[in-house]
Amino acid sequence: MRTQVGIVGAGPAGLLLGHLLHLAGIDSVILEARSRAHVESRIRAGVMEHQAAELLRAAGLGARMDREGLVHHGVVLRFGGASHRIDLTELSGGRSIMVYGQHEVVRDLIAARLAAELPILFDADCVAVDGFMAGSPRIAFRHDGAAQTLECDIIAGCDGFHGICRPAMPTGTLREFDRSYPFGWLGILAEVAPASEELVYASHDRGFALLSMRSPTVSRLYLQVAPDEDLGQWPDSRIWDELRLRLADEAGFVLPEGPILQKGVTAMRSYVAEPMQAGRLFLLGDAAHIVPPTGAKGMNLAFADVAVLARALDAWFASGDAALLDAYSATALRRVWKAERFSWWMTSLLHRFDSHGPFERRMQLAELDYITSSPIGAATLAENYVGLPVG
Ligand code: APR
Ligand code: PHB
């Protein structure tokens, strides 16, 4: 089998890259280890930056998102018993965010790929990538019980944090930056109308809590817990009680309960691998970097990498001009590091750290007070939250 761009992984990064390449007249094959049903039902974050939503629209993928997604113009920070709204739109020159589940984006992308009859193989487990330093990249994979090879001009490693592409980078070329946090998030999806029109980020002495949503009838809520928290210790009633304590405010906030459809614990981590390229192998999305979910940047960062690489590949395939392609890693990393900084900052600002004493807690509260009372402080948050420009 042969194609121009061999894409490992059908998460948001691999799927969007395949779509943008198709629009540019470049052939690709997407190889995904898991089943279509698995990929389409993985529940993850759900906030899209302004530009990410625009990118999907421009690529002809915005119809269902615009019908079913929720455009938000602000977020709420809650601390010390009071709520403070950050007006994202006013503070960012008219931008907004789109609340639309990542798995819905994945569904739309898969539907578009299948409708265009473009190659995507599910249950295709890639076992090795090689030849990319010698100009003849190959992907070895198993499909239908048989060993197969995909030859290509470029390999796009969109295989997430636990994939095979990053470990295939030549020994000694990668520099890794890593930070794990001493907590995780217990997330639930509940069949109940969101208790707030906008997302609520709560910094409470008992720990962080977040109120988000997926639709007018489905809420998504998170609680800071231990990174290895045992879900068995969290019957539904305890989850609701703790959410109520941490999300409470002096205005009498009410959190209605509903059936919990799904729950899980996610660990929190910041990670970057530099560079994001070796020869003809390019890393995109979680394959190259991870952010803690507090800033809602994961999928948005993946999309920004894709936008940068798609443009570079378009120039390279069209005219042989490698300038943008050679600059891919440096261009992508400038934005990656700024999103890493924002995600780390939001995480540090809002969570309870067992290592903190009363002084550090006062520092967090003073910074929250500054962010919510100074137009400049608030604008800093708003500018990053709606998304920095794509390189
Ligand atoms: N062969 C084929 N596919 C693979 C392999 C392999 N060896 N290893 C991993 N994959 C697939 C996974 O099954 C997964 O579907 O690669 C895909 C990677 O997708 P994501 O993990 O969603 O990563 P990405 O597309 O970069 O999207 C980043 O997703 O993980 C969230 O929070 C993250 O929002 C961010 C976004
Ligand atoms: C979500 O809705 O899943 C979500 C929203 C905001 C975040 C993280 C997750 O910061």
Q: Is the pLDDT of residue 391 over 90?
A: no
* CATH 3.50.50.60 residue ranges for the chain: 5-71+97-178+269-346
pLDDT grade for 44, boundaries at 50, 70 and 90: confident
Please check whether the domain covering 5-71+97-178+269-346 is classified as CATH 3.50.50.60. Answer: yes
Active site residue 222: no
pLDDT tens digit sequence for 304-352: 999 999 999 999 999 999 999 999 999 999 999 999 999 999 999 999 9
pLDDT beyond 90 at 43: no
Distance separating alpha carbons of residues 118 and 188, to the nearest angstrom: 35
Percent of the chain with pLDDT over 90: 98
Residue with CA nearest ligand 1 atom 23: 160
Q: Relative to the CA of 212, which ligand 2 atom is closest? A: 2
Query: Which part of the chain has CATH 3.30.9.10?
Result: 181-268+355-386
Q: Which of 98, 212, 263 is the pocket-test mutation for ligand 2 (most atoms within 8 Å of CB)?
A: 212
How far is it, in rounded angstroms, from Cα 200 to Cα 252?
Answer: 14
pLDDT of residue 45: 87
Percent of the chain with pLDDT over 70: 100
Residue with CA closest to ligand 1 atom 6: 126
Has domain 181-268+355-386 been given CATH number 3.30.9.10? yes
CA distances from 346 to 63, 297, 323, 340 (A): 32, 11, 35, 10
User: Is any ligand 2 atom within 6 A of the Cβ of residue 212?
Assistant: yes
Which residue out of 155, 159, 281 has the highest number of ligand 1 atoms within 8 Å of its CB and is therefore the one to mutate? 159
- How confident is the model over 198-222, as pLDDT tens digits? 999 999 999 999 999 999 999 999 9
This prediction's pTM: 0.97
Angle 221-223-226 from CA coordinates, rounded to 5°? 145
Per annotation, catalytic residue among 289, 297, 328, 351: 297
166 by DSSP, 3-state: which? Answer: helix
What's the pLDDT tens digit per position in 106-146?
Answer: 999 999 999 999 999 999 999 999 999 999 999 999 999 99
pLDDT tens for each residue of 292-309 = 999 999 999 999 999 999
